[in-house]
Structure 1
Amino acid sequence: MGSFHNYTTIMGLFSFFRSKNKKVETQTIEQENKEKVLLAMPIFINGGSLKLDKVVENLKSFWGLNVSNIEGDNETAAFEIDGVTIALGNMPIPIPKEELDEVIPYAYVWRDAAKELEKHTGHAIVSILGGKKTQIERFTILSKLLCSILITSENCIAIYQGNETLLLHKDHYLAAVDDLKMNRIPISAWIYIGLRSTASGIDAYSYGLFNFGKPEIEIIDSGLDANRLYTMILSIASHIIDKDITFRNEDIYSLSGGVKLKVNISKGIYVDGISLKFTI
């Protein structure tokens, strides 16, 4: 799965934030609860970069968010959104090719990813630090922030979230706006859905439920087509996160239309640790 680069740069971004905001204790990233740090990278073409004033204005006017304690400039900035700490950093260099080469094969919903990203010129690092909000609230803030960057940056072409192996084209990510406006979970912007061809058909799995303290989902040897599997896992994952559901072995889960799935908890096939295997 994908991993974020430029560790020194990210450390510098956190150091900048802490030096500007007295509410945050001075400590190293190793002392942070890493589960509380959310990271994403908007990707730019044609020399584009995020503009702090435009992003902040969109957060206020489009999303109605309370943005405060703004420090920094277009290069490096820090602020709070409804009490959640944010750090931004523009990077006028491409994401390392070897990192994108690792994740592009997983971006099957963006068929031209390799070609369109070949000449990207820069990226930004977006960090959501710890706060008292729930994980759903923090991911919602992250998504609204990323949408604001996409809306206000003409040359922002994609969002990369390496921790979840998500590489989404601008248009795909902005599809989350409607869900966010309606207070629904934009699950495809939070959870990666993997599809694997096998001798007997297609298997599917999730990657990202770990962010919410839940096992990943796998559907194996179902006989269903890719579209049905994709939709099914999105629906189940959204329900798990939204309702904070915890399954037990051999539970029965009912889908719309009267379809019932049996849950088996066992070692993951496509994911580390245990997974929730749903069978019809």
Structure 2
Amino acid sequence: MTAQQQAAMQSMINWLSDERELGRKPSKIEIAGEFDLHDMHYYIFKYKKTLLGKWLLAVCGGYEDPSDTEHCGHIFSEMQPYDPASAKQEAIAMVEMIREYWMKQAAAIEAAQQEGGAESQDDSSGSGIFNGFVLLNSSECDLEQVKENLLKDWNISSSSAEGESHPEEEKEGILVFEVDGFTAALSFVDAPVPNGEAEHYAQGNYLWREAAEITKTHVSQIIVAVFTRSGSPLDSGKLYTKLAASCLKLPNAIGLYSSGTVFQPELFLEMAEMMKSDDPFPLLNLVHVGLVGTETGMNGYTHGLKSFGKDEIEVLNSQTSPAELRDFLIDISGYIVEYNVTLMDGETIGFSAEQKLPITRSEGVYVNGESLKIKF
């Protein structure tokens, strides 16, 4: 076995061992074939979940050169039965699905950045940049209906200044337009979110018991993104909410994968509708508060503050109730976002003169990168 084959084998085992896939190493795995596609080399694998189970199909690649041991990220398995007669064709289809997903996402972001100019490209903090994935249970995307929803519900026109639309972009399933100092982008991808990622994070939505099961039914998606040019992160978040809500009104929309969870369409739309009358900031459509119970107490975390240029927050081993912890994190998040507050390591925070909760910065437990820990 060559060094590249060994590397591909180990990468495939690691991918299958992830908790979002098998959650353990396959009982058996073998290289069942090879092929070249788009000037890259790929390996077909067959593997078994259990020793007496059926052979299943997987693919790993691509490799540009025979000496490469790092693949480009095209690694996947739908856990369908392995059939030697059709394995190559099915493996190629999986690779094409992954390529289409990333090409569509890159195209939407690139188009939005070109429309948005250098300001959005130079913003490395992520402040004012919001993105998510509207999950669809059929391979249909009615962008015209989304445009109608935007105009009817929010008085937002997606046409150019001259009143002309962009048919060349819509024909490819991509819509990019500017509004009030922001660039908005929609990109349809006729494939599910790869690697079971959406299904995995749907499990954390404790407000929607059926989230994971319903998320499993999605077969395509709309990538939704908003970039700020001159507007504030708050207004960028509001526009993103309106754009996502307009997509969620499609009859085949079943959820929004964003901020580390999958939002229920009805609840997201209800929160968005409140902006029409009371004009509150739709915090809970943009920042997810996660809760994890352990033997030592309740743990809570935010996911979404980074889009406002702020650190995510975690509370570990709290002795409060889940409801109290959730309310606390919502209050803190609202305070940070709406008043543009930056919390610092070593400071204290409280909602009364007597309350002084210490703040420390360290590697995140439930979020990527560093987070601010508040003792509560």
Structure-1-length-normalised TM-score: 0.82
Q: How much does 1:265 deviate?
A: 2.2
Cα separation, partners in 2 of 1:77 and 1:115, compared to 1, 3 Å: same
Q: How does 1:84-233 map to 2 (within 5 A)?
A: 84-151=182-249, 153-161=250-258, 164-181=259-276, 182-233=278-329
- Range with greater deviation from structure 2 (208-217 or 137-146): 208-217
Instruction: Give CA-to-partner distance per residue, 1:122-163, whole Å, 9 cap, x none.
Output: 111112234111111111100011111122x111110112xx
**Is contact 1:267–1:275 with CA below 8 Å preserved after alignment?**
yes
Counterpart residue number, 1:38: 130
CA drift at 1:267: 1.7
d(CA) in 2 for partners of 1:267 and 1:14? 31
CA-based RMSD: 2.9
**Are residues 1:54 and 2:54 paired?**
no
Q: Which moved more, 1:197-206 or 1:139-148?
A: 197-206
Tell me the CA shift for residue 205 of structure 1: 1.5
Cα distance in 2 for partners of 1:246, 1:77 equals: 35
CA distance in 1, matches of 2:110, 2:364: 39
- Aligned pairs, number: 265
In the superposition, relative to structure 1, how do residues 46 and 278 fare at CA in structure 2: closer, same or farther (>3 Å)? same
> Is the partner of 2:221 in helix, strand or coil?
strand
SS across alignment from 1:145: helix
Q: Could you tell me whether the CA contact under 8 Å between 1:65 and 1:82 is conserved in 2?
A: no
Distance of 1:18 and 1:185 partners within structure 2: 25
1:10 equivalent to 2:108? Answer: no
* In structure 2, C-alpha distance between the alignment counterparts of 1:263 and 1:104, rounded to whole Å: 32
- Relative to the length of structure 2, the TM-score reads 0.63
Identity %: 22
The structure with the largest alpha-carbon Rg is 2
Per-residue deviation at 1:77?
1.6
- Structure 2 runs not aligned, ≥5 long: 1-19, 21-97
What SS is found at the alignment partner of 1:126? strand
Q: Which runs of 5+ in 1 are unaligned?
A: none
Q: Measured at CA, do residues 215 and 63 of structure 1 come closer, stay the same or move farther in structure 2, by a change above 3 Å?
A: same
Flag the 1:239–1:53 CA change in 2: closer, same or farther, 3 A: same
Question: Partner amino acid for 2:339?
Answer: K
Partner AA of 2:253 in structure 1: C
Q: Cα distance, 1:237 vs. partner?
A: 0.3
Measure how far apart 1:247 and its partner are: 3.3
Range with bigger deviation, 59-68 or 190-199? 59-68
Contact between 1:68 and 1:81, CA under 8 Å: does it hold in 2? no
